[in-house]
Each structure stands twice: as C-alpha cells, then as structure tokens.
Amino acid sequence: MTGMSSNSGHVTASTLLITGAALTVVAGVVGLAGATLTALGAAKAVRRRIEQMNVPPSELARQQYRRAKTAVRAGTGAWRNGEGPLAVQ
C-alpha cells in the first residue's frame, strides 16, 4: 500500500506542474494580447491628437528649438558682459 500512495502522490505533483505550466502559458498569451490592444489604442489616440493640432509637431519642435537657442545666446551674452543678477560691481 505504501508503494501505491507514493505513486499517486507523484501523479498529483506531475498533474499540478502541467496544469500550472498551462495556466502560465495561457496568462502570457492573454497578457500579450492585452499589451497589443493597449499599444494600438495609444497609437490611435496619439494620431488623433496630432491631426487636431494647428501646428505640426515638427514645426512646433523647430520653433521651440529656436526659442531655446535665442535664450541661450542672450544668457551667454549677459554673463560675458557682466549684466546678470550675479554680476560683481
């Protein structure tokens, strides 16, 4: 009888491992499907937002770059000429 109970325990452990592995695979597939749907939804929302913009993103980036460049030049010039708030008098 002891031989039978250990064999029955072995089958149960194998069944649990197989069931656990199968559930893990199913969860991975469902998770991947969810991530795909989320990415597609986000891409659609971004595309819709860009279409609603008055200025294309590339032009907006160009404008901001020009503004930053001008600000850096002004700050550098003020610092070199000693015109800033930290200027020594």
Tokens of 9: 């325990």
| Whole-structure pTM value | 0.54
What is the SS3 assignment for 45?
A: helix
The domain ranges of the chain are 34-76
Give me the residues of the chain with pLDDT under 50, please. Answer: 1-5
Per-residue pLDDT tens over the stretch 61-70: 999 999 999 9
Could you tell me the CA-to-CA distances from 8 to 3, 14, 18 in Å, in that order?
9, 10, 15
Cβ–Cβ < 8 Å for 9, 2: no
Between CA 36 and CA 18 the distance in angstroms is 27
